Amino acid sequence: MAEKVRWHSVSSTREYEGCPRRYRFGYVERRPKDRPVPPSWRFGSVVHAALEAAWKAAMEVAHDTPVREHLPLALEALDAALSKEGLDSDADRERGIDVVTRALEFDVVRDQALDPDADLPPARPVGVEEALRGRIDQQHRIIGFVDLVLERPDGVIELVDHKVTSRRATPDELHDDFQLNLYGQLARARFPHATGIVATHHYPTGPDAVSVRLDEDAMARAELRVRDAARAIAADTEFVPVTSERCRHCPWQPSCPEGTEWVEDHGE
C-alpha cells in the first residue's frame, strides 16, 4: 500500500519550526483546537469570503469589467460568512458591508499596478483561492493558496494576499516575506510564461495596497526552507515541545502539560 502523501505549507513549516509538538497536534493528530478562533480572525475570514465571491465572478466576464459590478454577489457571500462565523451583530454586518463596498468600489489592487499615464488594460484575474503546488519527493509535496492571482498587461504575474489588519507591511518586509516568496516560487512553475512575479498585500480596510517585485534567490530560499522542514519532520519521532511566549496563545495549550506549566509560571 502506497504511503499517504504529506503536504507541507508555510503554516505547517512555521508550526514545526516554532514547536514540533504543536505541529504534531495540528498536522499529524489533527486534534480539535481547545480554544476558539478570536473574533478578529473570524471577521477577516468573512471579508475574504466576500472578496472571493466578487473576484470569482470577475473571472467569468470581460477582464476590463469593474469588479464593483459584482458587489451584490459579494454582499450575499458576506451575509453567509457572517452567519457561519457566528458574527451576527448589526455592528459586524455594518462594518463588513463598509469594508467590502469600499474595497470593490476603489479597486486599488488593479489600479495601483498600472502606470496612470499609460493606455493599458487592467490586470486580468487568472486565479481566486488558487492552489499552487510543488513536489519534494514521492510522499512529500508543497502547497499554498493565494487569495487572488492577476496577470498584468506586461506578462507579470501578481500574487495578492488580502490582509484585514490595521498594520501595513513595508515593501522591505514584503520582499523578505517567507509566505509570499514561497508562493512566488510555486507560481514560477504554475505560470512559466510570466515575465516576473509581483507580490501584493491588499488592505481592504483602507483600501490600499503595497507591492514588490520578488527576486529569484529569495523565492528559491523560501522553497528550500520548506524542504528542510519536510526532511526534519519525516525523521522526527518525538515532536518535543518548545515552550515560549507562543504558549500563551497556542490553541492546544490546555492539552499540553509543558505549555500549561510555562503559562502558569510566567503569569496568564
Q: What is the pTM of this model?
A: 0.90
Whether the bond between 207 and the residue before it is cis, its omega within 30 degrees of 0, is yes
d(CA 168, CA 112): 16
Q: pLDDT tens digits for 60-110?
A: 988 778 999 999 999 999 999 999 999 989 999 999 999 999 999 998 887
Give Cα 262 to chain centroid, integer Å.
30
Q: Look at residue 114 in the predicted model and tell me its pLDDT.
A: 47
Helix axes 178-190, 10-18, angle to 10 degrees: 140
250 CB-near residues (< 8 Å, 6+ apart): 19, 22, 256, 259
Q: Look at residue 48 in the predicted model and tell me its pLDDT.
A: 96
Range 39-224 classified under CATH 1.20.1250: no
CA nearest neighbour of 54 among 78, 83, 31: 78
CA nearest neighbour of 223 among 144, 170, 151: 144
Per-residue pLDDT tens, the chain, 268 aa: give them. Answer: 456 889 999 999 999 999 999 999 999 999 988 877 677 788 999 999 999 999 999 999 887 789 999 999 999 999 999 999 999 899 999 999 999 999 999 988 876 554 555 566 788 999 999 999 999 998 999 999 999 999 999 999 999 999 999 899 999 999 999 999 999 999 999 999 999 999 999 999 989 999 999 999 999 999 999 999 999 999 999 999 999 999 998 999 988 999 999 999 987 5
Per-residue burial over 130-161, b if 16 or more Cβ lie within 10 Å, else e, is: bebebebeeebbbbbebbbbbbbeeebbbbbb
The answer to whether residues 223 and 134 touch, using CB atoms and an 8 Å cutoff, is yes
